[in-house]
Structure 1
Amino acid sequence: MNQAEDVEVVLAHDRRYKFHSGTLARNSTLLADLLIEPYAAKLSNRAKNAGIKIRWMIELKELPSDKHPAGILDLVELTPAGERADGRTGLIVNENGRIPTKIFDHYEAILYAFYNKEMRICDSDMRAALDDVIQIIAIADYLGCTNIISKPVEVALMKHGQSLFRAVQSMPHLWAKMAYDIKSELIFREAMVHLAGNWKRMQAKPAAMLTLKEYPGIGLLAEKCHARLVDKGKTLEQMVMSAYPGRMDKPTDYPPIKREEYAKDILVWMALAFFRHWLGQRIILEKGHQADDSGYELYRSLGSAGEAYMNKPIMNQFHHRFPMTKKAMNVLENHLLEIKENIKQRVDQHGILESYCQLDVHRYPVDYLTCVKVEREDFPWLTQDLPSATPGAGLKRGRRPGGNDIARHNLVAAKRSQEREASFDLDDEVTAASAEGLRRRLVERKLALYKYKALALLAYSQVHVP
């Protein structure tokens, strides 16, 4: 356990840390590429005898900017004596009355997380927590260690309860991307429920679709889940349109049934005809599964019964066209109320108005369906990051994967994820790029990804109730 701390990380002149190269390289793709033997200092015997063990020094060269959301880390050349060749001491930040930067605290928290130290994120103010989370994700993505920070970030956000879920509901496409970055299944599922239910409206927003284009798997899954809602709506509409409540289809138990028996229920049949007339018009006017809300308003009305639809003004229109006595009209309306109650039971049994999201839709109603189930096997990163070989392949009989095997797989998966995110606009350049150059360009190109910081904060501010 008493291994030599052979790496010094310098974030600022007063922020210096000593770590183990093996631990850093196992947890970060960036550091794994930097902490290799050719880049290590060739310490002299005099330095070794003096107890100097630092063979790599990594410094934060630049603070975060629009071009580099996580700043820039790079190696510092060391002399054989173990001292900096350039004689510098690190960044000196003059905040001069501005809001203090938290970049050093965030880097420190992530580096300590490599050693299983708990990462603390504000759990009292969601605005502050969200601001911290965005920068932590940017740094973790730059280092290639999102798997390390995913759970602490998820837990910190989940502590805010309905405030978080309202923010997700207001901008699900941005939160879906964030959840994809940190592999948060709960937040991703929540965002996907809102995306699928509001998919047609989302498609009419070019900015939202451009955002989703960066991660095609999110858009494809949202479309797939929306198709499930459409099929569910079609099934309900077919069931309601073909319903014969009560004993309309068999007014007596003694066949053959004479027409006089059916004639006794003429007002019931008229009520059913009026109901189907109204429902057919709504579907033809694309208020059902073809609507922008996937039929939510129509299905909610059917599930409410009573005066939620076909109220007095509507029934007066039927009465004007098919005049009858006041008493007959009252009887017909009573039959219609019974039909509505029967339809309500069918809607409830169908489950289309159920909610599978964490948002309390009773306190914070939404105007679209939230009954889609997002299964765990639907998550795009689970299929994309599967190793090509079967588990245990290449291992001796009886030997299970060890720590190095797991760490190696995590690094490979992280690199594969970075390359996949860069591929959509780096295809023409990747062949000529070095590993370091590719990473730098990737961070620059991912500027658009981290612009969801302002948008997500805006989403929270729009729904926040003091």
Structure 2
Amino acid sequence: MSAQNPFPPDGDVLIMSPTGKNWKLHSWQLVNYAPKIGALLKNVAARTITKGMRAEAHTIRWWIEMIPFGAFDDQRFRDFVCVPEKKKGKLTLHSAGAFNGIGEVSFERTYDNLFRMLYSMPPNLTDDIDDGGANLYITDCVSILQAAAFIGSLPSVRTYIESYLLRINQKLWVHVAKAPEAWSDVAVRLQSAIIFRESIIHIAGGLELPGLINRSSFDNIEYGKICLQVAERKCRELRDKKIDVERRLLQYYPQRLIRRETPEKIPGRADYGSDIYYWQALTMCRQFFQSSIMANRHHRHEDGGVEFYRTVFRCDYIDKHAADEFHQLFAMSTKGKQCLADAVEVIKDDHRVVIADLLEDHLQLRTTVRSKPLRYLTCTSVLEEELPWIANPGLGAGSIPGQIEDGVASDGSASPDRAGREIMNRGGGPSAGKVPGKKTRTGKAAMARDEGEDSEEEGEQQNNDDDSSREEDDVDEGEYMGGA
């Protein structure tokens, strides 16, 4: 392999772009790891390679042309057709006049990176991580993912694409926060547990809040229904957890107030008398909780109760003004007021344990002190057995790959706290799909390993009779390999 052409020189399949760029790959590699391209070889007789041809490094047995993509209008993708060997090897490239041959067209970049991954070579991704919010970097990764789905290569490249996405760390999580609907679908295609969990945490947290999650976008993505079902289930679990926390706030007794009878002692009036300030503080806290719930600031509030829960956890209630109102009815000495104020702070701190689980942050996203806090809770947990590809191991095995929703690559510059319907029109780099939800064409079934090997053997048998006469007509492969 040369630095200019990293692909193996002994490949027997030549994939040709309309601009003249070529890739020389192995048929066994395509049959096993790109079965929808490998299946094309089954119906076209392979050229016989003689010893003399092999000695001159002429190894091509099949020619595959890239033709316009028929599923939907997107210049990043191509369909493939295996063309039989013409007289003197002259091949006609489809739509060759559509490109001027100057510079790299988008589909060439996509498939060059995909073929590199099939050979475990690093792809050439756009490096805009530091300057552009990684929009083009992410678009490259998602383009490879989609192209791999169209040729049946997802199992071979999932791990690579996931690892390249995770390398950009917080920039990735900002993009996920801005478009969790689309990223949940990407995560299922990648079978990435960490990205799927991140997406579902955002969706479940904001699903019942107005303007945060666009439910209709799930209709336009391949695994949208499955992702929405998981998110809705997690949203119900979150609501039940909120209700349980609210109930516990009204029933909770701090451990410092509990006095149990023992064989040595029965609590008396003096014991309870010493706790009078704590009991008063507990009453004041419960009054605040009840007032907030009656004012509909709990889980039924338009913010899902998140501000109420955060207020309780911050101990940011029963301030000096509230204490002064209390003392207008229940007068105390200066010393008594100070003792009660101290007791209130202690009891408020005791209640933090009730609310703590609800305010756990399970996101990979890390915000700064200057960032706006998210408008929803992020304590959702997705268990291993709840991952769609674990719950349904055959997920997507017989489905037709669809487009990835618009908005996967956003500008990545602002706070992840999104405005309503922002997902549908935030596009920093090239869009991940111009026609969301449009179905792709049905292709031939993927060819199994043994069928692919049989097809190669049949091709050899059909062409082994007149090697010498065919050798005279064989054209020099050099004219096809100029761009390889």
The normalised TM-score by structure 2 is: 0.70
Instruction: Give the CA deviation at 1:74.
Output: 2.8
Instruction: Give the CA deviation at 1:345.
Output: 4.2
Structure 2 residues not aligned, in runs of 5+: 1-7, 417-484
The farther-off stretch of 147-156 and 324-333 is 324-333
Counterparts of 1:435-454 in structure 2, within 5 Å, are: 446=402, 449-452=403-406
- Seen in structure 2, the aligned counterparts of structure 1 residues 120 and 368 have a Cα distance that, compared at 3 Å, is same
Instruction: Give the CA deviation at 1:378.
Output: 1.7
Pairing partner for 2:363 from 346, 357, 375: 357
- Verify: 1:242 aligned to 2:251, yes or no: yes
- Structure 1 counterpart of 2:298, one-letter code: G
- Verify: 1:281 aligned to 2:291, yes or no: yes
Deviations 1:372-400 (CA, angstroms, capped at 9, x unpaired): 222222210233334xxxxxxxxxxxxxx
| Aligned match of 1:456 | 408
Cα separation, 2, equivalents of 1:95 and 1:9: 16
- Verify: 1:140 aligned to 2:148, yes or no: yes
Q: Superposition RMSD on alpha carbons, in Å?
A: 3.8
The farther-off stretch of 63-72 and 328-337 is 63-72
| Aligned match of 2:67 | 61
8 A Cα contact 1:77 1:86, kept in partner? no
Pairing partner for 2:312 from 302, 305, 308: 302
| Aligned match of 1:7 | 13
Cα separation, 2, equivalents of 1:215 and 1:85: 42
Counterparts of 1:18-417 in structure 2, within 5 Å, are: 18-36=24-42, 38-40=43-45, 54-62=60-68, 67-68=73-74, 70-79=76-85, 81=87, 83-84=89-90, 86=92, 90=96, 93-94=99-100, 101-125=105-129, 126-201=134-209, 205-211=214-220, 214-245=223-254, 247-250=256-259, 254-255=265-266, 257-258=268-269, 262=272, 265-291=275-301, 293-305=303-315, 308-319=316-327, 322-325=329-332, 327=334, 329-348=337-356, 351-361=357-367, 363=369, 364=371, 365-386=373-394, 415-416=397-398
Instruction: Give the CA deviation at 1:346.
Output: 4.5
Instruction: Give the CA deviation at 1:267.
Output: 4.6
Cα separation, 2, equivalents of 1:460 and 1:314: 43
Question: SS of the residue aligned with 1:457?
Answer: coil
Greater fraction helix: 1
Instruction: Give the CA deviation at 1:252.
Output: 9.7
Question: SS of the residue aligned with 2:358?
Answer: coil
Matched-pair identity in %: 21
- Seen in structure 2, the aligned counterparts of structure 1 residues 55 and 286 have a Cα distance that, compared at 3 Å, is farther
8 A Cα contact 1:123 1:160, kept in partner? no
Cα separation, 2, equivalents of 1:257 and 1:212: 67
Cα separation, 2, equivalents of 1:114 and 1:212: 26
The normalised TM-score by structure 1 is: 0.72
- Seen in structure 2, the aligned counterparts of structure 1 residues 242 and 69 have a Cα distance that, compared at 3 Å, is farther
The farther-off stretch of 70-79 and 177-186 is 70-79
- Structure 2 counterpart of 1:299, one-letter code: Y
Cα separation, 2, equivalents of 1:81 and 1:237: 81
Structure 1 residues not aligned, in runs of 5+: 387-412, 423-441
- Seen in structure 2, the aligned counterparts of structure 1 residues 268 and 414 have a Cα distance that, compared at 3 Å, is closer
Instruction: Flag the structure with more relative contact order, 1 or 2, with Cα contacts below 8 A and sequence separation at least 6.
Output: 2
Deviations 1:163-203 (CA, angstroms, capped at 9, x unpaired): 22122122211211122222222222221222222221278
- Structure 1 counterpart of 2:268, one-letter code: I
Moved >6 Å (runs of 4+)? 42-45, 47-52
